[in-house]
């Protein structure tokens, strides 16, 4: 999955006469660059190698025509992985799941992993008031891609600044910002100028919040409240939905 890491790996297998089947795995090992044993490397590298071993084993079974079904259950594969490795990892696991008789089930808290999946790959597991587990499909909502922030907000009302940023970014990239701002009430935001002076400007609530998120060094404004954050998020969600329906 990562050719750079793979090129540094070399198996350390002693002569067969020195092997004892009862403790063979204590004698056989893999070393990386500068002959550093894998068990001395970071947990991220070790986890990456282990996950790729599972993938290679599944591919081997496919080549050998094995009809036995295999389920790979992986808990939080993103643990200790760089963002780029998470992207490669989820791409690899999706390819693995397309192999006949192979199913991959994983749990995640990573927005990178969720965004790398399709809506049809996602299931939301929760517990209702009667302590019964509920399994729900995740369907497209305001954002056109799977968003962990949006899923958490819809399912658990877990509101984050990151979700606010995602919604604002989507409106901006779709060149709908002027339409969104039209007719909305404004409030005063004290902007720091290049020379260090303060310039009061009029902005809508969503911009007021976004400026504070992106410029925490500016302490010349009252911090927005949770209610204001929720109001702004709902305004953007309603606007996106209306645009889609028109």
pLDDT tens profile 54-74: 777 777 776 777 667 888 888
Tens digits of residue pLDDT in 125-134: 888 888 888 8
Mean pLDDT (the chain) is 83
Tens digits of residue pLDDT in 183-242: 999 999 999 998 889 999 999 999 999 999 999 999 999 999 999 999 999 999 999 999
Tens digits of residue pLDDT in 155-196: 778 899 999 999 999 999 999 999 999 999 999 999 999 888
CATH H-level superfamily of 3-117? P-loop containing nucleotide triphosphate hydrolases (3.40.50.300)
Tokens 């899923």 — which residue?
151
| Contact (Cβ atoms closer than 8 angstroms) between residue 105 and residue 71 | yes
What's the maximum distance between 2 C-alpha atoms anywhere in the chain?
83
Residue 201's nearest CA partner among 215, 187, 218 is 187
Q: What token pair was written down for 208? A: 């007021």
**Residue range 73-87: average pLDDT?**
83
End-to-end distance of the chain based on CA atoms, in angstroms? 44
**What are the structural domain ranges in the chain?**
3-117, 161-245
C-alpha 192/C-alpha 49 separation (Å) is 49
| Contact (Cβ atoms closer than 8 angstroms) between residue 244 and residue 144 | no
């Amino acid at each position: 999955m990562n050719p750079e890491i793979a090129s540094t790996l070399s198996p350390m297998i002693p002569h067969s006469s020195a092997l004892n089947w009862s403790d063979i795995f204590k004698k056989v090992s893999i070393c990386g660059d500068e002959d550093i044993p894998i068990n001395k490397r970071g947990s991220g590298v070790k986890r990456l190698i282990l996950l790729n071993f599972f993938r290679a084993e599944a591919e081997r079974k496919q080549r050998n025509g094995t009809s036995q079904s295999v389920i790979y259950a992986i808990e939080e594969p993103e643990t200790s992985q760089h963002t780029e490795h998470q992207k490669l990892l989820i791409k690899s696991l999706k390819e693995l799941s397309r192999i006949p008789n192979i199913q991959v089930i994983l749990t995640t808290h990573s927005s990178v992993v969720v965004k790398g999946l399709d809506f049809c790959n996602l299931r939301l597991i929760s517990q209702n008031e009667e302590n019964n587990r509920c399994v729900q499909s995740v369907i497209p909502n305001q954002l056109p891609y799977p968003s962990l922030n949006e899923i958490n907000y819809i399912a658990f009302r877990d509101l984050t600044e990151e979700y606010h940023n995602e919604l604002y970014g989507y409106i901006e990239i779709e060149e709908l910002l002027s339409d969104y701002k039209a007719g909305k009430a404004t409030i005063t935001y004290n902007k720091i100028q290049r020379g260090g002076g303060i310039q009061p400007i009029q902005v809508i609530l969503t911009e007021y919040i976004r400026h504070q998120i992106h410029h925490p060094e500016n302490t010349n404004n009252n911090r927005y409240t949770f209610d204001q954050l929720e109001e702004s998020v709902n305004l953007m969600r309603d606007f996106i939905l209306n645009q889609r329906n028109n």
